[in-house]
Every structure is written in C-alpha cells, then in structure tokens.
Structure 1
Amino acid sequence: METTLPFPFLISVPSSGLANAEGLTAGEVSVLGSPFIEADAGLKDEAWKALRRSNDFHPHFDVSKLGSKDEVLDLLDRGARKVFVPAGQFADYEGEEFVSRVAPIVATLDLSAATAQGLLITNVDPQVQDLEKFVADCEAKKVQDLFLKPVEEADLEQFIGIAQRCKAVAILPSNRITTDKNDSSRFLLSKLIAAYWKSDRPDGLIATVVCDEAGVALGMAYTSEESINEGIRTQAGVYQSRKRGLWVKGLTSGDTQELLGIGLDCDNDTLKFTVRQTGRFCHLPQAGCFGNLSGVSKLEKVLQQRKESAPVGSYTARLFSDEKLLRAKIMEEAEELCDAKTSQEVAFEAADLIYFALTRAVSAGVSLSDINRSLDEKSWKVKRRKGDAKGKWAKKEGIKNDAPTPAPAPAPVAAPAPVEEAKSDRIVMKRVDPNDSSELSQALKRPSQKSTETIMKIINPIIEEVRTGGDKAVLSYTHKFEKATSLTSPVLRAPFPKELMDLPAETIEAIDISFENIRKFHSAQKKRSLSGITPEIVYVAHKVGAESIVLAGGAQAVAAMAYGTESVSKVDKILGPGNQFVTAAKMFVSNDTNAGVSIDMPAGPSEVLVIADQNAEPAFIASDLLSQAEHGVDSQVILIGVDLTEEKLRAIDDEVHNQAVALPRVDIVRGAIAHSITIPVKDIEEAMKISNDYAPEHLILHLDNAEAVVEKVTNAGSVFIGQWTPESVGDYSAGVNHSLPTYGYAKQYSGVNLASFVKHITSSNLTAEGLKNVGTAVMRLAAVEELEAHRRAVSIRLEHMARNA
C-alpha cells in the first residue's frame, strides 16, 4: 500500500459534520487528519473546516452522490486528496490533474476494477463473506491504494484484521469509535491506533517525535495507548513518562501544547505529534531539545517576539506600526531581487524580501504554518489560471498579454492610505440590542469552565503523593514541572536573607506605597468588623511578616499547604489565583474533610464591565476595556453606554482600535475584543439591571454622578468610581484586593478581604432565669422535629430548678 496517510485507516463522517453525532467528536477526528466523507449537495464548508487542524490534512470523498463532474472538480480544487467515483464513470477522469487523485468504487469483492490510482470496495462483511480467497488475491496481485469499507454492523476488530492482511486502508465509521474508556458499545480509538503501531520495547511504549506547526522537530517523548487516548480526547500534549505515568506537557510550567495532528511513520514504529507550542518544549533555555530554531522558523519567532515587545522607536516597531514604510520596503526588496545577478546576490536579496514579507504576515497575525498551508492548497488545485503578469507590472516589462483589450475603465478612485486598515481588520466591539433578550443573554454568556475528568485524573495522584510522601513528593514534582532541580527544601523560612531581597530602590518604593495603602484599607475593615522565587515576593513576605515561602507551585503546592509536610506548615485557608490545575486542586482539597481547609472562591476568565455616559472620555473608556482584554483571549469585556450618541459610540470604537494596535499584546486583545460587546441603553436603571444580572469581576463607573450610583450596585467583585479610578490601581496600589469573584460568582462571593482571613465564634451564656424564658419554646420546637434528647436537655434542667425552688 503506497499512501501518505497519517494512519492506514480513514474515519468516515457525515457530510453535514459531527456537531450532533455520537462516537468521535470533530476535534478528535481532526487530530487524526484523515476524514472520509460521503459528499452530497448538503456538504458544508463549515464541516470541512472544523475537521482541519493541521497541514497534515487528508480528506477523502465518495462522490457517487454528486450530480456533475464540475462538483467533483470543485472538491479537488478545494484540496480533496482523493475522490472515489462509480467504476462506470472512472473513464471520464483522464488527464494529468487526476493522476492518483481519482479512483473507482465497486460494491463487490472484485479486484478486476483495480487501477494504478487505487480502488474502493464497499459493503465488506467479514461475518458473511468468504474473505480468505479475497485476501489471497490481494496478496498475489499486490493491489496498490486499496480501500475497504465495511457494512454498517460489521465486527470492526475482525474487519480491521482483514484490512491489515490485504494491506488496505480501512474506512471506519466515526459513530462506532470512541475515546471514552467506559463506553463498551464502541471500539476504543487508542486500541485501533495501537493495532497498527509496532514497538520493540518490553513496556510497549512507542517513540514519539514532537514537531511544531512548521514541521520543525522540538523533541522526543514516549506514548502509550492510555496517553494517546487522553491526548486525542483533550487535544493536548499527553505522553507516557517511563517513570511516573501520564505526563501532560505544561501542567505547571505553563509551556502547554495544543495537539493539532498525529500520525505514524512509514515503518509504523514511530509516532509524530504536531503541536502548537506555548513557550518552549525543552527544559533548557532553547526552543527545542535539538537546539534553537534557524532560518525562516527562527525569523518568525523573533518577529512575533518583537511584535509583542519591540522597544518604542526601534526599526522593527516602525515596520509594525507604519504600513506605508513596510509596503515600500516590500516593493523595494522585490525589485532588488529581480535585478540581482549572481547567486550570492539572489540569496541576499531573497532573504531581505522574505524578512519584510514575513514581517507583513506576522503583523497581520499570519503564521508560517498559515503560509505553508496556503502553498499546499495551491498545489492541490486542478483548475489553473493562465498566470499572466498583470497591469502595470506587465507593461513595465514590455509584456503583451493575449487577452482581448478591455473596454476603457472609469477613472480610478483614490485608494485609501495604506495606514488605514480594512474594516475586517478593525478591533471593534459588537453592538447588542438590550431589547432583544435572546441576543443579550447569548452575548453575556460566559465560556464553559469546568474541571474536567482529565484534569482531576492528573491532580489526584499528585495530591495523594504529597499527602503521603510530604517534602520528598513536593520536591520531586517541583524538580519535574518547574525544573528547579537545585532545591533541597520546599520552603524558605524567615528571617529571609537580605540578598534575596536585592531590589532597585524604585521597586522598593512602589511596593512600600502599595503595602501601606493595602494596610490602611484592611485596617479600616478590621475596625468595622470589630464594631521560587523573585526578590519582590521575598520582600513582600518580609513586609507582612510571613513565616515561610513555599518554593513550589501547581497542585503539589496546594496539597502541601492543605495537608502539611515535614517543612510546609499546614494552613487553614488557601487564597489566590492560579491556572486550571491550581483551581481544580483547590476545589479538591476544600471538599476533602481530611484536609480541613477552605478556599476563597471558584475562578474563571478575567472580566470588566464599564458603564459610561455622554460626558465620559472615550480614551479613558477604551483604556479600561483594553486593560482587561490584554489578560487573555477568553477575557470578558463589556461596555454599557447610557444614552450615548452614535458619534460618541464611534469615538469609543476608534479609541479601542487605535489603542489596541499600539499594544504589544495586540493579538491577545484582538481575540478578546472579537467576542466583546457594547450595549446601548436609555438610562442608568437599565444599565444597572444588566450589570447586576451579569455580576462582573470589575465594574467601572464612568458617570457624572458615579458616587450616587454605587448604592445601586448589588453584584460586583470590585467597583471603580469615576474617571480618575482605572481598574489597574486596584490591581496594584489602591489597597483593595486583586483576588475577585469572576464568572458570575460575585452574586455569591465577595472579593478577598480581611474577613476572608477571619473566622467568627458565637457563644451563649444563659442564667437559670434565661433558660426559663426560652425553655418552653425550645422544647416545643424540638418536639416538632421529634428530637427527644434535645427536648429533654431543657426539660431536665427546668425540672431540677422546680425541685430545688
């Protein structure tokens, strides 16, 4: 079998996609990179796009239901790797463009229709048909690119065995395969994949090469049936450690991986994982285990970093902000490449052109992987344009095209200045009509947040090992996840060494100012209630009089503090933010009565809601919206405009866009603003109703009478009053706490405050006369609940008083 498929099987999916299908999800099929679709008139572009995650995309189609050759050509032009047509129509597809991409279909075990381009045989039933002769014929004739599709209720394990013996590609229905190990009615995907790989290791693990989207190898790991099942199910980099079981890349380091595609090599003894890597793969300060990137891949990473953090005034920053300059440089370098004479000059000028072209791509949020994908898509096209030079470029080189002379064109309209971006590129918030309750409800819906079974499966063994193993387990996980291999103790105890608090004077001053404001704020709360480490952290711990600093993070730190170890003191409360694993660990220990620990609150993405009136400054509003949008693409950003004119709304939109494109984290901002909304309302009452229903983490009041509106706030994490109170002062120096309820939890929780660290003990002290006063009522209520011992605890005392009166 000669094929470039990721696996020697294809997953069959409906032409409408997998949105509501059982079995494998669209995400799980997309990681495999090899869907087989029975095309019909209802084939949806969205379904096709949903199945494509990486450039290793191999869609195959049964086109017997399509009505015309043009429809088949359209599929090939869009990137179908192979289409299968009824055997009687195969002769219609002659020509170089169809070689290896069109093959016939038959519905019987007949190899006579086999061609050099392959053959698809459908309705294979290993339980009814005598397949031994067919297998022998396949082995004798050595049919290339043979595809077999079973009948609907075929025994898949038996069918897969037949396909392997025939050296055929098995086409398997998605609704009969699963990644759910508890679903015994379906065939487990990891078992299917393992049926094709070959491992010479006693433990059965298979070597796995990990590559980025551009195909650059980042490193090597090992995979098992269990890890590949979890990796595909969660679309994450999950591997099998030879010592510690399942290993999820980036569990605590934050250097996570999104799994885009997997496949076997030609010998079926090595897996390839294609991932979108966040941070670096290697534990050393280099991109991958084989060293740093080079060439175009290195250039892409450098440009992406420069886009986020290029110094103001630098040439790279100019290129990203000045489209006219970048446009001019691209045209200049293209002309210099055309004029180059020697091979050295061509290489030099080509490198320059690639540099400026890739700068243009990165500026637009286009990756090298996107460019590679576009090149691949062009190579799969069967409809070719003539490719003549266009317009002024042809005229400049003296080229005369054969096309008929077009009619005189009207006078050209002046093109907009290059610095102006197309509307589709503008960073703008969607307008939502508050009178459309369905639209408003959908727009205000938060993204799904839950501690998945996978996350709990990962943190449970960590917590258990720390609970039973103490310091040794904490250090082991810290060495593994945080690469802090030199640590010999998981804590740093007070008094803290001065050399670990070596800070610039201006940083010390900033911390001292913020510390004093926080101290005053929480001291006021006290009066009312009674009527790894960085030098900044060490210094703050010193200022607050902390007993010790835990030199660990992640689930192992949460477990160490919840249960205590030889070095880490057990605590009663764990407060503060963290990633999804930290949140899951906090929830776990807070529900374990053996831990005896409470936490602050559940967590979700950061969010801000701004209420602004006609007199609010658009630049201030935009800056407050963007200060939350830069946290992450899942940040929630909402503006409620109270009786704002269209002119005012446009001014705010312009400020959001103009400020956003100047930010180092513009790509993150763009992602957050894409699902953010503006809600125009008539009055403050309508605005406050929406706000209180939403219960934002941060509420900013850009209102003339902001102080008076505060009393209308019933649900919010923290309120920022008036135009001179940006949310960022609350993060750092105003004195209020930065740990606030998100995801609507402001309806049930307060932000962290002094009360979060204080518990209240009630007490009762009755005299004999006092017991007489309430005794009858207590006994009556105890009798209603049929709690006789409760009633007698009072009656015995009252009787005692009566006897001794």
Structure 2
Amino acid sequence: MTQLIWSQLDPKQQAQALRRSPLVGDAGLEQSVKQIINTVADQGDEALKQYSAQFDGITLDDIALSNDEIDTACERVSAEIKQAISQAMDNIERFHSAQQFRGVDVQTQPGIRCELRSEAIEKVGLYIPGGTAPLISTVLMLALPAKIAGCEQRVLVSPPPINDAIIYAAKACGITEIYQVGGAQAIAALALGTESVPSVDKIFGPGNRYVTEAKRLVSQDSRCVVSIDMPAGPSEVLVIADEQANAQFVAADLLSQAEHGSDSQVILVTNSQRLADEVDAELSRQLKALPRQDIATDALSASRTIIVDSLNQAVAVSNLYGPEHLIVQTENPRALLSQIRAAGSVFLGAYTPESVGDYASGTNHVLPTYGYSRAVSSLSLADFCRRFTVQELSEQGLISLSQSVMVLAQAEQLDAHKNAIAVRVNAIAEQEK
C-alpha cells in the first residue's frame, strides 16, 4: 500500500490521505433507481418478476417462498453450517438481549410525572444481499434483534435464487415471510408494498449502490412512510498497530476487509516503519492465496499506510477518519480506548480480528461507514424500537407550572397555547370557591 508520513503532510494533504471514493448519488444512478421504484409502484408483483428476469436471469412463478420450499432448503444445509449458525446465534442473542430498554419514570417536580417508554416497531423489512458472497451472517444480525425487540412482522427479502443457508438462518431466527426479490426493486416493494410483499415501517440491511440509493429515495418518498437503518457506503477498516504488532495478523485483517469489494478501503496507521514494511510484504504473500485476490487488489490500490509519530497521533488520525471497523493491535490496546471518539465497532488486541464481529462474537456487524461513525451508532436493539415520552400532571402540578408556560407561550405569540393552560387554571379556581 502507498505509505505516507503524517507529519510531512500539510492539512490539505492530510485530508486527501483520509478521503474515500465518491459515494452513490450521480444523476444517472438516481434516475435509474427512481424509474425502478415508480415501476414497482405502478405494476407491483409483475414489475418484481420482470426485474428478476432482467437482473437475476430467473423466471419466478411465486415471489414468496412456501413453507415446503423453506423446509426443503433447510434440509440441504450441512450440519457443520447449522452448528456454526447455532453458536453465532447464542452469542448475538445474549449480547442483544442485554440491551433491553429500561424505562424512565421521573417526578420532575411535585405533581408532574414524566416517562420515557419504548415499543417495538411493528413491521420491519430485512434486506439480505445475495450474489457472489451470500451474507448468512447478516440474517442473524438483523433477524435476531428484530425478534428480541418484539417486532410483530419481520419480512426478509433476498435476490433469487436464495442461498439455502440464508433460508435456514432466517427460519432459525423466527422469520416466516421470505420473498425472492433483490436490488432496488426489493427496497421499493418493502416501502410501497405489492400484491405479495407487504409494506413495512423500517428497512434494514446492506446492499450495492442501487440498494443504497433506493433506501435513500424511499425514505424521502411522499407515497410511503418508511425509515431506514443508517447511511451506507463501501466497507472499510482502519488498523492501529505499534512495533509489537504481528505483521501477519495485521495483513490478514486488512485483506479480510479488502475482499468485500473493489470499493472497500483499508488503512494502516502505525508508529513503526519496520512494521509498515513487514505488513506490505505479508500483503503480497497472503494476497496470492485468496480466491478473491482481484477484488482485494483493487481495494488495496485505493488504500494506504500512514506513518505517525506516536500512538496518540494514531488515535487522532483514526478519529478524523471515523472508520466502520477499528482494530487496535498494540501492546496495551485498552489504554487507547478512552481516546477513541469515532468508530462503528472497535476490536482490541492481537486475538480479536474483525472477522469475529462479522460473524459470532455477539456484537452487530451492521455499522456506519463513510465517516458517519462520528454521529451514527452501530445497529442495536434500540434501532428496532421507537421511544416516546409520557407526561401526567395533577391539578397542583399544573398550577405550579402554569405561570411559566403562559409567559413563554405569550412571548412566542402563541395565544392558544396560553389559553389551554388558562382555562384549566380558571376551572380549578372555580372548583375551590
């Protein structure tokens, strides 16, 4: 990877060193996705079948998988995969169950009770990519939290033909509605509904640039009321490593992210020139053994190594970048944790590769990318719920607050607000005569 010495870069060059490739959003892409959404809105299931034939090369009789089809697919999954899914499910369920909301019930002053409550989102749509890397693990990361949160209707969509292990994982997580549809048309179907696919309140899951653009557009479409999980861009990892780090481990972590896609980005930040050179050598060696080496090579061409003066400076660089995944392979990684301000998920120590978070440690792998980790959190149980407040005042509580509310309402020239208080205060006064 290209090596840069941070202290020798001016501010403009430093910003350039941390720049990502452009996100989706060009006019041609937006118009193409808008057309797909409008066609699904007008033609429903027929549009979904036409797009499956056009984009997936598959002719569908039914968009929904039947119970028999689900059971048959599950029987074809090997015992080894079923066992791996089982262990991953146990850890993910344990971690996410611990996130159950604990309500807030506070008396802000005598006679004034304020609460914060949480309820599950009723209908959620889970998008699972297919293609060359069917994301079985994403089923677990979306379906289990939705089940634990108590979402009543949990709808899964994935491009046909759906991988058997995706179907098995979905059933194991309690999914009963599986639809064979992918791409922007699947997002349109979840947002707008068709004869087969029900509309949902919130859409979750990663996808290609068309899926990402479709999620953005439907969240702003006046024909539906639907929200999305988070902004998404290409996958990325930043590794902070010192001279004690294992170069073989570091290179393996960089490549595990680079193989996601040609637009993935990996960055090594280290205070050791020797380690940087050793990692470069390891990348060349390990790359030759990867089946997806062409994809990883493309990703590495847009990636870089940044040499810093100290680990404190390394953390500062990482915070500026705001990585989706942050791996800390230093002699005392936890010592840096308190300085970390922006990362989707953090992996501490030589024996904590990013892969464990992707699959089975228990944390969620749906994470903010493209620097959004500075303001957006990793997916959690809270994302499958909506929070709302409750307030309840006694007569005395209203009296004690009335003057402040009426003064503020009058200052804002909102007389009806003031009157809503005044009529009650007057009624209480009349009762007391």
TM range (shorter): 0.7 to 0.9
In 2 relative to 1, CA 529–659 (structure 1 residues): closer, same or farther, beyond 3 Å?
farther
Structure 1 residue aligned with 2:149: none
1:448 maps onto 2:22 in alignment: yes
> Which position in structure 2 is the counterpart of 1:582?
211
1:561 to 175, 186, 190: 190
In the alignment, structure 1 residue 491 sits paired with structure 2 residue 118:
no
Distance 2:385 2:179 in 1: 22
What are the residue-to-residue correspondences of 1:656-695 with 2, within 5 Å? 656-695=283-322
| Distance in 1 between residues matched to 2:230 and 2:430, nearest whole Å | 54
Counterparts in 2 of 1:802 and 1:435: CA distance versus 1, 3 Å: farther
Distance 2:166 2:423 in 1: 59
Partner of residue 54, structure 2 = 480
**Structure 1 residue aligned with 2:43:** 469
Partners of 1:615 and 1:722 lie apart in 2 by 11
Decide whether aligned partners of structure 1 residues 471 and 666 sit closer, same or farther in structure 2, where only a CA change above 3 A counts: closer
Residues 110-189 of structure 1 correspond to what in structure 2 (within 5 A)?
none
Counting only pairs closer than 5 Å after superposition, residues 210-229 of structure 1 correspond to structure 2 as none
Specify whether residues 696 and 796 from structure 1 end up closer, same or farther in structure 2 by C-alpha distance, changes over 3 A only: same
* Aligned positions of 1:384-783 closer than 5 A: 428-436=1-9, 437-485=11-59, 487-494=60-67, 497-501=70-74, 502-526=76-100, 532=160, 533-642=162-271, 644=272, 646-783=273-410
Does structure 2 retain, via aligned residues, the 8 Å contact 1:496–1:542?
no
Asked whether 1:788 is paired with 2:415, we answer yes
Whether the aligned pair in 2 keeps the contact of 1:432 and 1:677 (CA below 8 Å) is no
In 1, Cα distance between equivalents of 2:382 and 2:280? 40
The one-letter code matched in structure 1 to 2:34 is N
Pairing of 1:283-322 with structure 2 (within 5 A): none
What are the superposed Cα offsets for residues 1-51 of structure 1, whole Å, 9 maximum, x if unpaired? xxxxxxxxxxxxxxxxxxxxxxxxxxxxxxxxxxxxxxxxxxxxxxxxxxx
Distance in 2 of aligned mates of 1:794 and 1:511: 58
- Confirm or deny: 8 A CA contact 1:605 1:743 kept in the other structure: yes
3-state secondary structure, aligned to 2:254: helix
The 5-angstrom pairing of residues 373-392 of structure 1 reads: none
Deviation at 1:494, TM superposition (A): 5.0
* Partner Cα distance (1:542, 1:630) in 2: 28
Task: For 1:704 and 1:745, locate their aligned partners in 2 and report how far apart those are by CA, in whole Å.
Answer: 28
Structure 1 residues 784 and 634: alpha-carbon distance in aligned structure 2, compared to 1, 3 A threshold: same
Offset at residue 475 of structure 1 (A): 2.1
Report the AA paired with residue 274 of structure 2: E
Higher relative contact order (CA 8 A, sep 6+): 2
Letter of the 1:619 partner, please give it: Q
TM-score, normalised by the number of residues in structure 2: 0.82
Give me the identity figure in percent: 43
Equivalence for 1:145: none
How far residue 496 of structure 1 moved from its aligned partner, in angstroms, is 6.0
Alignment partners' CA distance in 2, 1:574 and 1:550: 14
Query: Structure 1: how far apart are the matches of 2:410 and 2:66?
Result: 56
User: For the residues of structure 1 that align with 2:168 and 2:226, how far apart are their CA atoms?
Assistant: 27
Which residue is equivalent to 2:122?
A: none
- Work out the number of aligned pairs and report it: 375
> Can you list the C-alpha shifts for 1:657-710, whole angstroms capped at 9, x where unaligned?
222233233333332222322222232321111111110010001022222322
1:733–1:528 CA distance, 2 compared to 1 (3 A): farther
Write the distance in 2 (CA, Å) between the matches of 1:495 and 1:525: 35
Counterpart contact for 1:514–1:734, Cα < 8 Å: yes
Contact 1:430 1:676 in 2 (8 A): no
- Going from structure 1 to structure 2, the CA distance change for 1:648 and 1:461 (only over 3 Å counts) comes to closer
Q: Distance in 2 between matches of 1:672 and 1:547?
A: 37
Give the superposition deviation at 1:769: 0.9
- Cα deviation for residue 741 of structure 1 reads 0.9
Give the direction of change, closer, same or farther, for the CA distance of 1:494–1:764 in structure 2 (3 Å limit). Answer: farther
Give me the whole-angstrom Cα distance separating, in 2, the residues matched to 1:775 and 1:596. 36
Q: Deviations over 1:405-448 (max 9, x none)?
A: xxxxxxxxxxxxxxxxxxxxxxx332232352222211111111
**1:492 counterpart SS class:** coil
For the Cα contact (< 8 Å) 1:503–1:535, is it kept in 2? Answer: yes
Contact 2:4 2:306 in 1 (8 A): yes
Contact kept? 1:493, 1:547, Cα under 8 Å? no
- Residues 80-105 of structure 1: CA deviation (Å, up to 9, x unaligned): xxxxxxxxxxxxxxxxxxxxxxxxxx
Aligned-partner Cα distance in 2 for 1:559–1:586 = 8
Equivalent-residue separation in structure 2 for 1:549 and 1:651 (angstroms): 47
Q: Would you say the 8 A contact 1:434–1:679 is kept in 2?
A: no
Tell me how far 1:614 sits from its aligned partner.
1.9
TM-superposed deviation, 1:469: 2.6
- Using the alignment, how far apart are the partners of 1:561 and 1:675 within structure 2? 34
Distance 1:591 1:602, change over 3 A: same
- Spell out, residue by residue over 1:313-341, the C-alpha distance to the aligned partner (whole angstroms, 9 max, x if none): xxxxxxxxxxxxxxxxxxxxxxxxxxxxx
- 1:227-306, aligned counterparts within 5 Å? none
Moved more, 522-531 or 578-587: 522-531
The Cα shift of 1:547 comes to: 2.9
CA–CA separation in structure 1 for the residues paired with 2:270 and 2:56: 45
In the TM superposition, what is the alpha-carbon distance from 1:524 to its structure 2 partner? Answer: 1.4
Instruction: Please say if residues 607 and 636 of structure 1, whose CA atoms lie closer than 8 Å, have aligned partners that are also in contact.
Output: yes
SS in 2 for 1:760: strand
**What is the correspondence of 1:60-75 to structure 2 with a 5 Å cutoff?**
none
The structure having more radius of gyration, on CA atoms, is 1
Matches of 1:778 and 1:497 in 2, distance apart?
59
Structure 1 residue 716, shift from structure 2 partner:
0.7
CA contact (8 A) 2:70 2:168 kept: no
User: Which secondary structure does the structure 2 equivalent of 1:759 belong to?
Assistant: strand
Question: How far off its partner does 1:529 sit?
Answer: 7.9
Letter in 2 for 1:431: L
AA aligned to 1:756 is D
* 1:589 Cα offset (Å): 0.7
Report if the CA contact (8 A) 2:265-2:299 is conserved: yes
- Higher mean displacement: 445-454 or 580-589: 445-454
Cα distance change, pair 483–494 in 1 and its aligned pair in 2 (3 A): same
C-alpha displacement of 1:740: 1.2
- Give the AA of the match of 1:440: Q
State the secondary structure of the residue aligned to 1:762.
Answer: strand
Report deviation, 1:498.
Answer: 1.9
The runs of at least 4 aligned residues of structure 1 exceeding 4 Å deviation read 493-496, 527-531
Deviation at 1:483, TM superposition (A): 2.2
